[in-house]
Structure 1
């Protein structure tokens, strides 16, 4: 697995490239804005069920999003 900072950068770039707000993403997958902020800043790595929800939301695989 990549480190938390790398994952955070990837999540942030993906959200920005899709022109989504944090609120849009968090409401769609059922997490708090503060949790997404911690993921995007590399302070925390999402647990497995959230990884699956994020990958589904961004139409990609968990492997590509978190392990590539």
Structure 2
């Protein structure tokens, strides 16, 4: 679950439907991003980040951190 994404949406006082509409995606797709079931494309991440006012790279920080940790284990 991307609790940080949900919290940003709630802070902006927007529904999932409103964020999805402003981002150009379906509400069900947005819900999957918020639940952590899917990752957005870079373009969609940028759109959502613009709506909710955050850096779009937040969507991918966990994956980058995981890859870096795995690389350290190999070295």
TM-score (norm 2): 0.70
| Long gaps (5+) in structure 1 | none
Match of residue 41 from structure 1: 35
Task: Give the structure with the larger helix fraction.
Answer: 2
User: RMSD between aligned alpha carbons?
Assistant: 1.5
- Greater C-alpha Rg: 2
**Taking CA–CA contacts closer than 8 Å with sequence separation of 6 or more, which of the two structures ends up with the larger relative contact order?**
1
SS at match of 2:53: coil
Q: Give aligned pairs, total.
A: 61
SS at match of 1:39: helix
